[in-house]
Amino acid sequence: MTAIAGAAVAGLQIVTVDEVPRHGRIAALVVGLDQRQVWYVPVVHEQEACLQLKDVLNRFKGFFEAARPSKIGFNQKADYLALAAHGIQLQGIDWDLLVAAYLLNSGVRSPSLEALASDVMHRTIEGREALFGTGKTAMTCDQVEIARAAAFFGERMRVTLELQPLLQAQLVRLGNAELFRDLEMPLVPVLAEIEMAGVAVDLPYLQQVSRELYDQLRRLDQEIEDVAHGPINVNSPQQLARFLFEDLNLPGGRKTKSGYSTDATVLEGLREQHPVVGKILEYRQLSKLKGTYVDALPLLVDSRTHRVHTSFNQTVAATGRLSSSDPNLQNIPIRTEVGQKVRRAFIPGRTGDLLLSADYSQIELRVLAHMTDDPVLVDAFARGEDIHARTAAEVFGIPQPEVTANQRRLAKVVNFGLFYGLSDFGLARDTGMSTEEARVFIDAYFRAYSRVREFLEGIKIQAREQGYVETVLHRRRYIQDIRSPNRMLRQAAERIAINMPVQGSAADIMKLAMIRLQRYLQEQHLESRMILTVHDELVFEVPPAERDHLIEVVPDQMATAYPLTVPVQVDLKLGPNWQDMERVRLVAAKA
DNA sequence: AGGATCACGCACG
DNA sequence: AACGTACGTGATCCTC
């Protein structure tokens, strides 16, 4: 114990029985100082005598809660969560191999330690399946012999310790050591805290919505089956295609691998041809919302906290964004009326508290302005203009007051499409203009915004010559197929290359803001909690007494997290749930 | 029979 | 089929 406490760095893993570290069902601790000194401390093994968890945690508490030794691990958010369940705040989370591996190659979705050992050290180690088995017969950690578990986790710890300096050297070589140390690693406990905070949902309300949707769905299903003269599963694209394109003889359009497509755009095109099509579209929409959100969310409410605790994944998205799963709280509906009903279910956990939502306004276009230094784009943001109206004015060569609503709409589609590597074909599909008109429109856009065109061309060249592209903080994404002789593959690679620096830089900025704000809330001993992050939006749960304080600090910290050459603007909304929110304040940080 | 995986469709930024 | 995600359902393949 003395040797451990006195070390500068130590490997650490908290082994849990189940896959939800937040539950804190700790099976064992693994601690390692070097290849020769690795300890496996079992606390829950069914067949054998173990140490008492309480005693073990007490012995190690000082080690956990001290910034030194620095802890090395693999997926340290899980360690933090498992210990937090026992009231221990893990400190010194300095070196997570999972996070490092992600920075080194964000294209590999959540690399395993096995894969790292193989790729970096050319060494084969046992995977979890070898010890626990797979599928229904899989054992949990507590069902395995201590000796076998100790050998398995001990080897992983030795590999972890051996890999760490190798990965560190690679981070330095790539120029990513600072991004790792100052952004991604500090973010680890921030995400864990957000997950632990969770978000409250209004269960009785959701139940009521579920009943309403059930009735509507039954009615629609009946009406559809009346037309079909028999039972049909509207959820089955196969059955639906047979019904529409064989029984009703409607004109089939696009094909999928297994037949005619029945997706929403196809059905929209058939709406006028038969009244049943509208009913199918409505059925689809309601069924999606009911199944994915209204009925699924209540099942994920934690019985102890009465809240939903998502997982924020830091090592999945190739652009540097975070993702959310179990449940995904980053795709809660907002666009349709029924969707908004779902959003109303997200509420503060305590009566009287409020939800505060702060979102970056046009962050990607501002990042684009910053990266390109395009004089027109920079000027528009500097003046605080309506960016889509300005774009329309530039493209059509008319004064801004004369821009029609339709012209603005077209400009908006282009402004969004830019980040996706817009094609004339795509623009035509989204706007209803001809491909030829779309081509002319895009040409006019790039004449007005020549620096944007040069920038996008430059990205493609960089991807081709270096094999990767990067964000403002030098986060990399390697681009496959960028030199492919296959035109389709190559163009797809070019679109990926164009998208990443902008989407990824926006993610960099958001991550910086999250770290600052979490630090601030903690230092000021505020009760307000950061509870969600949705790419360009942060949501907080706020007691009324702290309302004015947060309204001041949140947008300010977000807007100044990473100063751009254009102002960064943050919109602030406040309300009793995630839907019914009112604009409070609009903050723009000076460039 | 039941699990794993693919195909499709679609929710968000 | 313009970038990035997550996930539910049905259909189909695979294993016990």
**Are A36 and A130 in the same domain?**
yes
Digit-coded pLDDT (tens) for A47-104: 677 778 999 999 999 999 999 999 999 999 999 999 999 999 999 999 999 999 999 9
Question: Which candidate, A549, A476, A473, A541, places its Cα nearest to that of A511?
Answer: A473
- In chain A, what percentage of residues exceed pLDDT 90? 83
Q: What is the pTM of this model?
A: 0.96
- In chain A, what percentage of residues exceed pLDDT 70? 98
- Report the CATH number that the domain containing residue A182 is assigned in CATH: 3.30.420.10
- Report the CATH number that the domain containing residue A211 is assigned in CATH: 1.20.1060.10
Is A316:A110 a contact under the CB 8 Å cutoff?
Answer: yes
CA distance readout (Å), A255 to A237, A252, A266, A446:
12, 8, 10, 34
CA distance A245 to A259: 10
List strand B contacts in A 299-338 (CB < 7 A): 330-336
Taking the C1' atom of B13, which residue's CA lies nearest?
A: A535
Question: Which candidate, A273, A293, A294, A291, places its Cα nearest to that of A283?
Answer: A291
| CA-to-C1' span, A59 to C3 (A) | 50
pLDDT value for A135: 61
**Are A229 and A281 in the same domain?**
yes
Per DSSP, the residues of A253-304 read --EETTEE---HHHHHHHGGG-HHHHHHHHHHHHHHHIIIIITHHHHTB-TT
Query: Does the residue A471 lie in any domain?
Result: yes
| CA-to-C1' span, A289 to B10 (A) | 10
CA distance A163 to A157: 10
Query: Does the residue A373 lie in any domain?
Result: yes
Of A80-84, A121-125, A477-481, A584-588, give the lowest mean pLDDT range: A584-588
Helix (H) or strand (E) holding A387: helix A387-396
**Are A235 and A245 in the same domain?**
yes
Looking at the structure of chain A, the number of domains it has is: 4
**Are A343 and A433 in the same domain?**
no
Digit-coded pLDDT (tens) for A172-197: 999 999 999 999 999 999 999 999 99
Query: Does the residue A313 lie in any domain?
Result: no
**Are A325 and A180 in the same domain?**
no
| CA-to-C1' span, A279 to C4 (A) | 31
CA distance A247 to A255: 18
Q: How confident is the model at residue A587 (pLDDT cuts 50, 70, 90)?
A: confident
From the number of C-beta atoms within 10 Å of its C-beta (0-12, 13-18, 19+), residue A28 rates as: buried
Tell me which residue has tokens 């540097």: A320
Mean pLDDT of A226-245: 90
Domain coverage including residue A57: 1-197
Question: Which candidate, A400, A382, A398, A381, places its Cα nearest to that of A390?
Answer: A400
Q: Which of A480, A505, A530 is the endpoint of a domain?
A: A505
Query: Does the residue A590 lie in any domain?
Result: no
Q: Is A481 helix (H, G, I), strand (E, B) or coil?
A: coil
Q: How confident is the model at residue A412 (pLDDT cuts 50, 70, 90)?
A: very high
**Are A356 and A429 in the same domain?**
no
Q: Which of A505, A520, A555 is the endpoint of a domain?
A: A505
Q: Which of A300, A326, A348 is the endpoint of a domain?
A: A300
| CA-to-C1' span, A229 to B4 (A) | 35
Neighbours of A350 (CB within 10 A): 12
Q: Quick check: A78 CB within 7 A of strand B?
A: no
Helix (H) or strand (E) holding A574: strand A568-575
**Are A358 and A447 in the same domain?**
no
**Are A43 and A147 in the same domain?**
yes
Q: b/e per residue, A462-476, with b = 16+ CB within 10 A? A: bbeeeebbbbbbebb
Digit-coded pLDDT (tens) for A117-153: 999 999 999 887 777 776 666 777 777 888 889 999 9
- Report the CATH number that the domain containing residue A478 is assigned in CATH: 1.10.150.20
Which nucleotides of chain C does any protein CB come within 7 A of? Answer: 1-12
Which nucleotides of chain B does any protein CB come within 7 A of? Answer: 2-4, 7-13
**Are A26 and A172 in the same domain?**
yes
Query: Does the residue A213 lie in any domain?
Result: yes
